[in-house]
A and B are shown apart, each in its own frame.
Chain A
Amino acid sequence: MNRPTRFAFFLFAVIGVIIACDPKDDILGPLSPNTGDGLDSIEYNPQAYQFPQINGLPAMQIPATNPVTVQGVRLGRYLFYEKMLSIDSSISCASCHRQDKAFTDGVPKSIGVDGTIGIRNSMSLINIGYSWRPNNAHNFMWDGMFRDLEDQVLAPVENPLEMKNNWEEVERRLRNHEHYPALFRKAFGINSKADITKELAAKAISQFMRTLNSADSKYDSVEWRAFNYFTESQQRGYELFLGDVNGAAVTKDAECAHCHSFSRNFATFARNNYTNNGLDSAQGYNDFIDKGLGGVTGILTDNGRFKEVTLRNIGLTAPYMHDGRFATLEEVLDHYVSGGHPSPNVGNELLTAPTLRTLSATDKADIIAFLNTLTDTSYFTKQEWSDPFLLPDPWAE
């Protein structure tokens, strides 16, 4: 065997080892033969996105069908801020999910094309990837409409109350765009503009959204850094929020942590379940105007149930509840202290909270002081999450 042959044989063996042990079998290779639009001359070399380690947030579970890459995140960021997704190019995802409002929009119900008012409040996208539980059919949206983020992000484009467009049109716009075909090529290895699909666009937007992770608040400082402490009011609010601190019985317990649960190393402050928190009166299960989860599952006892949201950045995400009915956190607490409205499936955590109704004005102020310690403003100026179209040269590498 001559030297080149020996080398080739050796190389083959090494490649064999790599292939045999590499669990990554879902890399999206070229999707179709080259059709002559020159995309295959652009390098396709996706690099795995390195998620920063954040105290209080564990490694995120990510669907094997959509590994996060640097190139996918970059494309997703452009698409997230791309107004071309709406029928008249007037709004983008970011219109209802603003960086300086924990990716919400500050209005009770989101505003779509032509000023159309939607039916629900815009949800925060911070740490949104942690809402995905592979064994759960209802992970995203107030009513749990979607299991996967990749399906959720498709919906606003065709919603008549939101972007009012259709994906065929969006695909056409993206294929004819000066820059997007190259970005799709770099992210997904497509060979032709015709390979740009809504599914790939959804994958890219989802990848970008999975990077919107943040836990750098006062609470995190107290939890993870030396010589950082709550104020007296914040500490008292924390103890009311948690109740039974250190297992000891307390005289007052606001019972918040049942639904907004957390642990030191998984501090999302959200159970991600669906609960009727007594917002509306209903004699029977069919009397809820907005059925919430029940509208999706068709199960009567799910009517009136909505997603328990994260309290991270809750100070930034007013107004509150699925329909934005409460303008302030004070109003939210007043609702819970009132006991809420009766209906057949109000959460038992609310109905069996013996001291919740006795919270004083000081108690409520202390709880809100604690809730505001969950606000993280460190990402307001984070350039990689910001609108690239505001840059002097938006498409620069």
Chain B
Amino acid sequence: MKNILLFCLALILFSANSCKEPDRGPKGSLSITFKAVYENDPLLVFNDYLTPDGDKLQFHVFNFFLSDIELIKDNDEVVRLKDVEYVDFNGNTDLNKAAAGIKFDLSEVEIGNYKAIRFGIGVEPGKNAKEPGDFPTDPYLGDPGNYWSAWNSYIFSRLEGRIDTLPNAAGGDVSYLYHSGVDGMYQTRSFTKTFEISSNGNSELIFKVNAKDIFYKSGAEIYIPNANVSHSGAVGTPAYDLARQTVINIANAISIQ
């Protein structure tokens, strides 16, 4: 009799424990926001922006994967936040949305003092070796629209839009499309920032992505009318180099506030 009672008790306790998340210490909240701008203005899709050349530039599609998002504590301990996120500015259709940015709320972050955050732009090679069907519940990796079968790769970043090189005359319109992908294009960035995550606070990190820098940063310019399209392509081709330059420029256009 005693054995049965003990067995039942153990069973109940086991069941109660086995269905809970393991406790890994106190947690706090962190929000990470990405805001797209064109110089100092919130970036709106389908809006005209003046380039240094006097052209009118529009962004229609602007999005990219983030991978391996990690925080670095003061003691160099690495805290993993998320494997994959997706920054998609296609919803920047009015100033309020553009000013608000794309926000990721994380509620289960280890409390402590931190000195840096790092992530990759694109999909890290381990996951990029897989396909959307391998991630059926992930809204981004599980979306075949984010995958390009010709490369056996996810589309790391998309930049699409239009430039008008003759704003006061007809005939200057050029549409552009740059899709980066394949492992050699994966970019990593680390940002130094001192901040604390406490159990009762709500910390926030804000990143700005200056879209102007993607095309016009000194030394890394991309002159759209000269090469307005790249789906990446084979290593060593101009198309590959161009797509790689776009994702490098996106990575370098990101700054922490």
Contact = CB atoms under 8 A, between A and B. Distances in A.
23 contacts: A9-B5, A9-B8, A10-B4, A13-B9, A14-B11, A17-B11, A17-B12, A20-B16, A135-B139, A244-B232, A244-B233, A247-B150, A247-B182, A247-B233, A257-B149, A262-B147, A262-B149, A265-B131, A266-B133, A348-B61, A348-B161, A348-B162, A352-B229
Q: How large is the interface on B (under 10, 10 to 19, 20 to 34, 35 or more residues)?
A: 35 or more
Q: Is the interface of B mostly helix, strand, loop or mixed?
A: mixed
Contacts of B18: 21
Contacts of B9: 13
Nearest to A6: B4
Interface in A58-81: 58-61
Contact of B176 (A14, A242, A246, A352): A352
A243 B142 CA distance: 22
Nearest to B11: A13
B177 A349 contact: yes
A12 B12 CA distance: 10
B150 A257 contact: yes
A357 to B, nearest CB: 14
Contacts of B168: none
A268 interface: yes
B1 A6 contact: yes
A263 interface: yes
Contacts of B1: 1, 6
Interface in A17-60: 17, 20-21, 56-60
B66 to A, nearest CB: 16
B178 to A, nearest CB: 9
Contacts of A270: 144-145
Q: Is the interface of A mostly helix, strand, loop or mixed?
A: loop
B153 to A, nearest CB: 8
Nearest to B44: A301
Interface in B124-157: 131-134, 136-137, 139, 142-145, 147-152
Contact of B142 (A244, A247, A266): A266
A34 to B, nearest CB: 33
Contacts of A266: 131-133, 136, 142, 144, 147
Interface in A230-281: 242-249, 257, 261-268, 270-273
A265 B16 CA distance: 37
A301 B93 contact: yes
A10 to B, nearest CB: 6
B134 A345 contact: no
Contacts of A135: 139
B136 A61 contact: yes
B145 A242 contact: no
B234 interface: yes
A263 B131 CA distance: 7
Interface of A: 1, 6, 9-10, 12-14, 16-17, 20-21, 56-61, 133-136, 242-249, 257, 261-268, 270-273, 299-301, 344-345, 348-349, 351-352, 354
A10 B232 contact: no
B117 to A, nearest CB: 24
B70 interface: no
Most B CB within 10 A of own CB, among A12, A248, A351: A351
A248 B19 contact: no
A22 B170 CA distance: 65
B175 A352 contact: yes
B15 interface: yes
A194 B7 CA distance: 46
A370 B150 CA distance: 16
Given A344-B46, A348-B177, A352-B228, A13 B142 contact: no
Contacts of A257: 148-150
Nearest to B132: A266
Given A20-B16, A348-B160, A348-B176, A261 B234 contact: no
Given A243-B231, A248-B234, A265 B132 contact: yes
Nearest to A342: B173
Contacts of B16: 20
B150 A249 contact: no
A264 B130 CA distance: 10
Contacts of B175: 348, 351-352
A243 B229 CA distance: 14
A268 B136 CA distance: 13
B45 interface: yes
Interface in B24-56: 45-46
A59 B228 CA distance: 38
Contact of A261 (B8, B93, B144): B144
Contacts of B131: 263-266
A6 B4 CA distance: 8
B46 A354 contact: no
